[in-house]
A and B are shown apart, each in its own frame.
Chain A
Amino acid sequence: MEKLPTTSESIPTDGLFRRSSWSRFVESQIQNVMLLCASLSILTTVGIVFVLLNESVYNVTGGTAFFQEISPWKFLTGTKWHWDSGDFGVWPLLTSTLQVALIGGLVSIPLGLASAVYLSEYATPRTRRIIKPTLELLAGIPTVVYGYFALIFITPYVLRPLFGLVGLEVGVFNGLSAGIVVGIMIIPMVASLSEDAIRAVPQSLREAAYALGSNRFDVSARVVVPAAFSGIMAACLLAISRAIGETMAVVIAGGQNTSGLSVNPLREVFTMTSYIVNVSSSDVEAGSLEYKSLYAVALTLFCMTLTMNILSQWIMRRFRETYQ
């Protein structure tokens, strides 16, 4: 077989050759550094999951994990949470968390959805330019501020007079005020994500609805919102998941009731996040059962928010209408 000429013989122009091996090395390293940056968040997640599982489910680094001492069954079904007496039933924490998240959802979903519909269907471009950034400003307020707002304004000046009318007493710390501020806090999230979903509804559907003699409200409520339903659902789930994980405002406004199972929103609550703050900031000995219970609670919380996030993505994909 005849030998082909080598590259250096066939291409005489210098400019076409690759640059020095050093500059090639630098270029490939830049790529690696960027890849590393991208992997960092994944690595962090993996690390967190490892620590959670290690301390709560099965300890591989020496020592015993939480569930190796306390049965998972007792943890998941118990209705008392008293670490002094060794009662680690997660229900009081769970109901508190769900109570705050539910109230948060009841506040944020209608308001957020109404804002989204207003912004995309009613507002003139000018109004929209003013209102949208203002709404997003809400998302920039530190959550501590919301907590104090609930504690020193909503509870004494809104809830107490209101419930006073029907003779109900409102605690200094209560789940309702915490839920309300958490709701206000996540309005921008619901509004912004829902608005994205609503804007994705093709203009042709709106025109068709108008052409059938709909007024603006009919178009929004009967056509646009149902057409954007999957996106709106996903937005709500993400917001609820955020409400479940919300900490500071809940610690400040909701209190840290340790008296057991309670579903009364006018009383003090003790959410999972509050418990974690409470134990982390107290002088609990590392390696003790209380210390390890932190991880079990955190794992529960992690599973809940993860489920919500996955569910929201699934809904988004599964129920999205495709328009040609």
Chain B
Amino acid sequence: MPDSMTTEPQFSLTPPTVNRSENAPAPATQRKAKLEARRLNFFYGENQALFDISMQIPERAVTALIGPSGCGKSTFLRTFNRMNDIIEGTRHTGEVLLEGTNIYDPRVDVVALRKRVGMVFQKSTPFPKSIFDNVAYGPRVAGVRDRAKLAETVESCLLRAALWDEVKDRLHDSAMALSGGQQQRLCIARALATEPDVLLMDEPASALDPASTARVEDLIFDLKSNYTIVIVTHNMQQAARVSDHTGFFYQGNLVEFGGTQALFTKPREKQTEDYITGRFG
């Protein structure tokens, strides 16, 4: 095993001074790693999508993954709740850890994992049910039958997703009638209802208008005090606005990972600089 792995490195909130060429995480501070990838390689059939990724995602902070289309950032995000499992012919080597437990361990219950690691997708995906039933979906699947408890969960999740005031009078209307921005916040509320401690967001605002995008970004900011958030985004301004840490992916490699401000102002790698200054991608 390489050195970077045996020494349990801690994540850095301040930009590191040494330029590290490996994918290894930056050196220590006090913030605990919630999620961690160790030498992760990922394949779709014969095509390798991720190359030897090692990365530590700190808890209760927003980590953005940026990079051009097809760079593997979404694939990487989807390993944290094993969403890639439902695609035929995928495989991986290496480890992905949630609080130190390898989530690809055969003893891990994927259903339980996905309850702890919630996900919000690029396209809002409300189920063709009422607003209430959408949010209550997760608890119901988990076996909650008590109506009062469900109502309480629905209210608190809609409140946290900043949607309650807009929908409290029509909880039993179809979720399909909401606007795009409302649907996306509903999906966030729905993800919160399973009581996760990690939220994965795959370009959550890319299909939204600027006003709705701003609301979703505010929401992300509010949520990070309680949740560990990993967000994939195309939009570098968004990454700069909402995230504390940013990882830049290029062609399946983690090129650079560090504090957002540092990465955007003083990138260590040439490729990162080229990308954030708009020279490609």
- What residues of chain A have their CB less than 8 Å away from a CB belonging to chain B? 125, 202, 204-215, 218, 222-223, 226-227, 321-322, 324
Complex contact A207–B127 (CB within 8 A): no
Complex contact B127–A223 (CB within 8 A): yes
12 contacts between A and B (CB under 8 A): A208-B119, A208-B125, A210-B86, A211-B114, A211-B119, A212-B190, A212-B193, A213-B111, A213-B138, A226-B128, A227-B127, A324-B123
A321: contacting residue among B81, B128, B137, CB under 8 A: B128
Complex contact A207–B83 (CB within 8 A): yes
Given A204-B121, A204-B123, A222-B141, check contact A212 B128 (CB 8 Å). Answer: no
A321–B127 CA distance with the chains assembled, in angstroms: 10
- CB neighbours (8 Å) of A215 from chain B are 111
- What residues of chain B have their CB less than 8 Å away from a CB belonging to chain A? 81, 83, 86, 88, 111-112, 114-115, 118-119, 121, 123, 125, 127-129, 137-138, 140-142, 176, 187, 190-191, 193-194
Given A213-B194, A227-B128, check contact A208 B187 (CB 8 Å). Answer: yes
Q: List 14 other contacts, CB 8 Å, given A209-B127, A212-B141, A322-B176.
A: A202-B125, A204-B121, A207-B121, A208-B119, A208-B127, A211-B83, A211-B118, A211-B121, A212-B193, A213-B142, A222-B141, A227-B127, A227-B128, A321-B128
A213: contacting residue among B115, B123, B127, B176, CB under 8 A: B115
Closest to B183 in A: A324
A213–B108 CA distance with the chains assembled, in angstroms: 13
- CB neighbours (8 Å) of B176 from chain A are 321-322
Complex contact B123–A212 (CB within 8 A): no
In the assembled complex, the CB of A125 is this many whole angstroms from the nearest CB of chain B, namely 7
A181–B160 CA distance with the chains assembled, in angstroms: 55
Complex contact A125–B127 (CB within 8 A): no
A202–B123 CA distance with the chains assembled, in angstroms: 11
Complex contact A212–B83 (CB within 8 A): no
In the assembled complex, the CB of B111 is this many whole angstroms from the nearest CB of chain A, namely 5
Given A204-B123, A214-B141, A324-B123, check contact A226 B129 (CB 8 Å). Answer: yes
Closest to A228 in B: B128
Complex contact B125–A212 (CB within 8 A): no
Given A204-B125, A321-B128, A321-B176, check contact A212 B81 (CB 8 Å). Answer: no
- CB neighbours (8 Å) of A218 from chain B are 141
B114: contacting residue among A202, A206, A213, A222, CB under 8 A: A213
Complex contact A207–B125 (CB within 8 A): yes
A202–B142 CA distance with the chains assembled, in angstroms: 23
A202–B81 CA distance with the chains assembled, in angstroms: 20
A266–B88 CA distance with the chains assembled, in angstroms: 49
B111: contacting residue among A214, A321, A322, A324, CB under 8 A: A214
- CB neighbours (8 Å) of A125 from chain B are 88
Complex contact B114–A212 (CB within 8 A): yes
B138: contacting residue among A207, A212, A322, CB under 8 A: A212
- CB neighbours (8 Å) of B112 from chain A are 213
- CB neighbours (8 Å) of B137 from chain A are 209, 212, 222
Closest to B113 in A: A213
Given A204-B123, A205-B127, check contact A212 B194 (CB 8 Å). Answer: yes
In the assembled complex, the CB of B217 is this many whole angstroms from the nearest CB of chain A, namely 21
In the assembled complex, the CB of B205 is this many whole angstroms from the nearest CB of chain A, namely 16
Complex contact B81–A211 (CB within 8 A): yes
- CB neighbours (8 Å) of A324 from chain B are 123
Top 9 closest pairs, chain A to chain B, by CB = A213-B115, A208-B125, A211-B119, A213-B114, A321-B128, A212-B138, A204-B125, A218-B141, A213-B111
A282–B193 CA distance with the chains assembled, in angstroms: 69
- CB neighbours (8 Å) of A205 from chain B are 125, 127
Closest to B118 in A: A211
A223–B138 CA distance with the chains assembled, in angstroms: 12
- CB neighbours (8 Å) of A204 from chain B are 121, 123, 125
- CB neighbours (8 Å) of B83 from chain A are 207, 210-211
In the assembled complex, the CB of A322 is this many whole angstroms from the nearest CB of chain B, namely 8
In the assembled complex, the CB of B139 is this many whole angstroms from the nearest CB of chain A, namely 10
A210–B200 CA distance with the chains assembled, in angstroms: 14
In the assembled complex, the CB of B89 is this many whole angstroms from the nearest CB of chain A, namely 10
Complex contact A207–B129 (CB within 8 A): no
- CB neighbours (8 Å) of B140 from chain A are 222
A321–B125 CA distance with the chains assembled, in angstroms: 12
